[in-house]
Amino acid sequence: MIKSRICEMLGIRYPIFQGGMAWVADADLAAAVSNAGGLGIIAGMNSNGEQLRAEIRKLREKCDKPFGVNVMLMSPYAAEVSDVIIEEKVPVVTTGAGNPLVFMKKWIAAGVKVIPVVASVALAQMVAKRGAAAVVAEGGESGGHIGEANTMALVPQVVDGVDIPVIAAGGIADGRGYAAALMLGAEGIQMGTRFLVAKECNVHPNFKAKVLKAGDTSTIVSGRRLGHPVRSLKTPFSRKFLELEKDTSISDEELSAFGTGALRKAVREGDDEGGAFLCGQVAGLVNKEQTCAEILEEITAQAEKILGGASEFLS
Ligand code: TUI
């Protein structure tokens, strides 16, 4: 059985988080992951305060296990969402796409365990000093908004830089990645792409079909010009975005406007022409639709087997 400090700290069976994917990570998905023994996380990104409250209450009708809410710090609703988290006594918060210090004091005072997603050692150390319970170190293989360093380089450097548990994210979709993350010093993992095709995941069937079909070179990064690099599947929309990004006659405002609503169009409508299908580089490893429980059990069994056999490398 793989156990770490994070299991005891959060009261979960498997040290495996489901990423708080914008528009994707709803109460159904998060409840399924938490009920199966991992940490399910609801995305606060696409909700205002009251919509998030409804989603939290929906999860609680299905699940009495620990769960989290992810706050996307660039969201215009970040402040109201941050208050709802306290009012609803959410046990765990993860944050992304920015520096969470402005909200941390309030959350910690209310007893919320704060686990920021970081893409650098500097931010990991800053949040550790201010009381973060753990950090998720997310490498650039991830889908969605990414930093500069990749998982193999980032995770051990963050592990060396802080005393709190580190959860590895980015480029992990099976037991091999899970075992490797533990070898890098992580005490758990977070996965997004693998959960995109979970039976309990409500994304449009076209989204699931694209992930299942994708290979190792199926994603691209766009949005660097706007300061927000985002990894998504290669589609007519993402190729067009990248083209417009290179065109100096297009203003940043026009470019941003082109991307407005693209996450929703991918997740809800499966729209190839107008949707941004955020997805990690591991899509090529994700080949079947399973329940969240099956995913957690399979990846755990695979990692345990690898870790158990690792001594074969020693003579
Ligand atoms: O946040 C994510 N992934 C996301 S957020 C998102 S929604 C979005 N939509 C359009 C444009 C941009 C985002 C989709 N995917 N992952 C966590 C993460 N955080 N990755 C990288 C970071 C990060 C980057 C810079 C965290 C902090 C940071 O700088 C902090 C500072 O010092 O200001």
What are the pLDDT digits (tens) for 8-44?
999 999 999 999 999 999 999 999 999 999 999 999 9
> In the chain, which residues have pLDDT < 70?
none
If you average pLDDT over every residue of the chain, what do you get? Answer: 97
| Burial class for 76, CB neighbours closer than 10 Å (0-12, 13-18, 19+) | exposed
CA angle 48, 54, 57 (to 5 degrees): 140
Task: For domain 5-201+290-308, say whether CATH 3.10.105.10 is its number.
Answer: no
pLDDT tens readout for residues 123-149:
999 999 999 999 999 999 999 999 999
Pocket test for ligand 1, best of 74, 135, 145, 228 (most atoms within 8 A of CB): 145
Query: Which residues of the chain does CATH 3.20.20.70 include?
Result: 5-201+290-308
DSSP 31-67: HHHHHTTSBEEEE-TT--HHHHHHHHHHHHHH--S-E
Ligand 1 proximal residues by C-beta, below 6 Å? 22, 45, 72, 74, 96-99, 117-119, 123, 138, 144-147, 228, 230, 278
Which pLDDT value is given to residue 31? 98
∠ Cα 268 118 26 (to 5°): 25
Distance 97 CA to ligand 1 centre (A): 2
pLDDT, residue 267, reads 97
Q: How high is the pLDDT of residue 156?
A: 98
pLDDT value, residue 46? 82
Q: Identify the pLDDT of residue 45.
A: 82
